[in-house]
Amino acid sequence: MYKLRMPSNTQILPDREDPIPVPKQHFVNGNPLVGPFPNTMEQIVLGMGCFWGAERMFWQTNGVYTTSVGYAGGTTRNPSYEDVCSGRTGHTEVVKVVWDPQDVDCSEILRIFWEGHDPTQGMRQGNDIGTQYRSAIYYFNDSQHQLASASRDIFQEKLSSAGYGEITTEIRAATNYFYAEHYHQQYLAKVPNGYCGLGGTGLSCEIVPLAKMDLD
The catalytic site residues sit at: 50
3-state secondary structure the chain: CCCCCCCCCCCCCCCCCCCCCCCCECCCCCCECCCCCCCCCEEEEEEECCHHHHHHHHHCCCCEEEEEEEEECCCCCCCCHHHHHCCCCCCEEEEEEEECCCCCCHHHHHHHHHHCCCCCCCCEECCEECHHHCEEEEECCHHHHHHHHHHHHHHHHHHHHCCCCCCCCEEEECCCEEECCHHHCCHHHHCCCCCCCCCCCCCCCCCHHHHCCCCC
